[in-house]
Amino acid sequence: MDIDARGPRFGAAVTTVVLAVVLVTGNAWLLAWQTLAFLLGAAGGVTRSPYGLLFAKAVRPRLGPPTAFEPPEPPRFAQAVGLVFAGLGLVGYSLGPGWLGLAATGAALAAAFLNAVFGYCLGCEMYLLMRRVTVRAE
């Protein structure tokens, strides 16, 4: 079943703010929270992530009916990609080297920003590209 396309974009906006705060403060605990949010989104889908639940309970009821839908698999894959980068950032901030924390968090921030502001989901595009390559190989 397809999902409301505004949900993942809302999650990307919240993620953008969280990751920006992490970059400014270097707060590994906040990055650990974001890593957990990515983990839940990758494991259960974006509708079961903390930001997806917040969207469903607090934001979506205040909006009109959705006009755009998307399959849940690409955003779920994007959450897994975010999980990898946030995990690397967490290692960098917690154990070192510090540049790894900055670089990985910055990359995740850039991807979240593109989705939140422009609706361009890098992880979703990666998923779709891999799917096209897989179909052609068969």
14-48 pLDDT tens trace: 999 999 999 999 999 999 999 999 999 999 999 99
Structural domain boundaries, residue 86: 3-137
Work out how many domains the chain is built from and give that number. 1
Model-level pTM greater than 0.75? Answer: yes
The model's pLDDT over 110-124, given as tens digits with 9 standing for 90+, comes to 999 999 999 999 999
DSSP 88-100: HHHHHHHHS-HHH
In sequence order, the 6+-apart residues with CB closer than 8 A to the CB of 51 are 10, 11, 14, 15, 37, 41
Specify the length of the chain in residues: 138
Helix (H, G, I), strand (E, B) or coil at 48: helix
